[in-house]
Structure 1
Amino acid sequence: MTATGTREIREIAEHAFAWTGAHLAAFALGEDALAADGEVDHSWKPLGELAQVYATVSHHTAPDDPLHTHAGAMLDFAWRQTGEGELFRRMQRLEPFATYPLEVYGAFASAGYRHPAYEEAAAVVARTRSWWLTEQEPTRRLAVLSAEERSGIRRAPVEELLPAGTWLAGRPEPWTFERDAGYAATHVVFHLTDWGRDPAGLPPALADYLYDWLPAWLDTCLEAGMWDLGCELLAVAATVPRLTGDPALDGAWGRIRSAQRPTGALPELEHASGDAEAGADDDPHYFMNHYHSTLMAAFAAVLTTARPGGTTDEATGETGRKGPRHSGQGAPA
């Protein structure tokens, strides 16, 4: 990848984050956040995805990088929306066997934002047979295992973290790739690699399979104007060792750059509903059709261009991080 290409890819992230910062109010939790009939996909899901992307940016950028500073501010905003973790504890009482609170909390925990009282309550439920006997799709099971480990609830044995039963693990005929399989495959990679922090978590056989076929899938998605899935595939490409920095992917980034709107927003699909720039902020469909793909563009761009921030412990080889932030009951002084 040329230096010019690197600069342009980073600009995609900068523009996407500018749009995100200008639309923070849309990520805020409303009064219905704890309602039994609340729309999780319109409240907790966007906030959790915001936290996940910025946790990754914080990890993969140096402390003196403006993106690192921006990520910290966005994480602080998102954490405040949860009452500094207190809303997770309250949700635990209302829906003890729901997995989405733990999955959202895991994103915060990976960045050092912790609420010990919630973790203690969640751990009690996670030890029940009912928790483990709940029928889930393999990719969701992998997400829950990852969230448990990130939150310090338990460390799953290696064999439980293998993506058995997922579409990607079966390495199916590459021509059977389609939209739903694509999203499932990218998330298997995200969970196995801790959202790009640990590329070694991807089994070699899956890395080889992705090396062979991801470029073709990516080209198909971008040709169809599927910008959201295209960005997720670019994030995976930044994680697969032999695809990282592949000049052949420069053309894909050029397509994303061209699709990105002047505001920094990126639509999920080329012809997404509510995509008109004029009056976009007043369009109820605009935010939902743009926020995830915009975040994914920034996520993929940071993984592609950045190096892990912090210092490396020579004994463990692990990248240094800020210490955990505690709040709520049981927090240390």
Structure 2
Amino acid sequence: MREPRGTRQVAEDALAWVSAQRAQFALGEDALSADGQVNRSWKPLGELAQVCATVCRHTAPTDPLHACAADLMAFAWQQTGRGELFVLLQRLEPFATYPLEVYAAMAAGGLRHPGYEAATATVARTRSWRLTEQEPTRRLGVLNAETRSGISESDAMPQALRRTWLAGLPEPWTFEQSSGYSLTHVVFHLTDWGRAGPGGVPPDLADYLADWLPPWLDTCLDAGMWDLGCELLAVAASLPVPPEPAVLQDAWARIAAVQHPSGAVPERGSGADHDSGPDFLSHYHPTLMAAFAATLTTGRLDDGARADAHHRPGGQGVLG
């Protein structure tokens, strides 16, 4: 096992691998095809933009991590023809939600296309759009995407939230992989992927997660579920009161131990099967999640350090 590295280093190495693999995120000729594989084209590009928007939000413009994330954001935007492909997608599939969800990730980074927003806003006013049956967590994500894109402000978020697995405060022993991914995305949508701060998590959910997130995280890491483990670490950094430092230190040491020297993080397993180098499809998502969670964690640790300095004798506050 390699010597544990700091959380910040995990983020830097992860984003460096992502940057080296940027060509793999490029949209192919089938991006607008009716039988195109969305999960292998638009989905990775949207996830890239989402993570990079959050990294940019939580780092200073002079930070090399910020510069890398901003460069990747620019690449993602260029892949969409600076938004023109969203307009074409909207015409081809007016009631599909995935184009809006991908666009919202880019809009979060300040990349906007007024024409697409106007066209989508027209569709979003229809009864068909509002009444489309969606799984609760997905519904929460679509509502958040509408808000982020300036399409509409909705008061349906609380109603959608209360239909999710997490909001039911289920018996903790019923936690499994599918519910784990569901709860992480509920928190991501509530906190606007870490951009809105921990105040977006309702108190009852925050208290529930404070009790049960640490054992769930430990269980996932014991099972070598690094992708879900990184998502749970992002949730941990998004709570009003994060887990104890020892819990986070142990978890991040385990993530760092399986991170490939190139910066890639495996989805599952020991992380030792890299003789030919990490393949893109099985590594891009956990690596993005590692960068995402590590950036949020580093931000919370920095906030805690500033708070400690403020309360120490002789410490200066923001007005000092």
TM-score by length of 1: 0.86
CA drift at 1:158: 6.1
Q: Is the 8 A contact 1:161 1:192 kept in 2?
A: no
Q: Is the 8 A contact 2:169 2:208 kept in 1?
A: yes
Match of 1:239 in 2: 238
Give the match's secondary structure for 2:6: helix
**Which residue of 297, 301, 315 maps to 2:294?**
301
Q: Is the 8 A contact 1:245 1:304 kept in 2?
A: no
Take 1:209 and 1:82, find their aligned partners in 2: how far apart are those partners? 40
Gaps of 5+ in 2: 304-320
Match of 1:100 in 2: 98
CA drift at 1:271: 5.6
Structure-to-structure mapping, 1:92-171, within 5 angstroms: 92-157=90-155, 160=158, 163-171=161-169
Take 1:218 and 1:46, find their aligned partners in 2: how far apart are those partners? 25
Post-superposition CA distance 1:121-160 (Å, at most 9, x none): 1001100000111110000000000000000001112654
Go from structure 1 to structure 2 and tell me whether the alpha carbon gap of 1:240 and 1:249 turns closer, same or farther (over 3 Å shift).
Answer: same
Take 2:34 and 2:86, find their aligned partners in 1: how far apart are those partners? 14
Post-superposition CA distance 1:61-88 (Å, at most 9, x none): 0111111111111100000000000000
CA drift at 1:58: 0.3
Gaps of 5+ in 1: 310-333
Take 2:158 and 2:231, find their aligned partners in 1: how far apart are those partners? 24
Give the match's secondary structure for 1:113: coil
Take 1:84 and 1:107, find their aligned partners in 2: how far apart are those partners? 14
Match of 1:67 in 2: 65
Take 1:236 and 1:111, find their aligned partners in 2: how far apart are those partners? 21
Q: Is the 8 A contact 1:244 1:304 kept in 2?
A: no
Post-superposition CA distance 1:259-287 (Å, at most 9, x none): 11111111111168xx7423336xxxx21
Let me know the Cα RMSD of the aligned residues: 1.9
Which amino acid in structure 2 is aligned with residue 214 of structure 1?
Answer: L
Greater shift in the superposed pair: 239-248 or 291-300: 239-248
Post-superposition CA distance 1:28-51 (Å, at most 9, x none): 000000000000000000000000
User: Kindly, what percent of the aligned residue pairs are identical?
Assistant: 64
Looking at both structures, which has the greater relative contact order when contacts are Cα pairs under 8 Å and sequence separation is at least 6? 1
Take 1:44 and 1:214, find their aligned partners in 2: how far apart are those partners? 31
Q: Is the 8 A contact 1:145 1:161 kept in 2?
A: no
Take 2:70 and 2:17, find their aligned partners in 1: how far apart are those partners? 16
Higher helix fraction (1 or 2): 2
Take 1:112 and 1:137, find their aligned partners in 2: how far apart are those partners? 28
Take 1:193 and 1:293, find their aligned partners in 2: how far apart are those partners? 20
Match of 1:18 in 2: 16
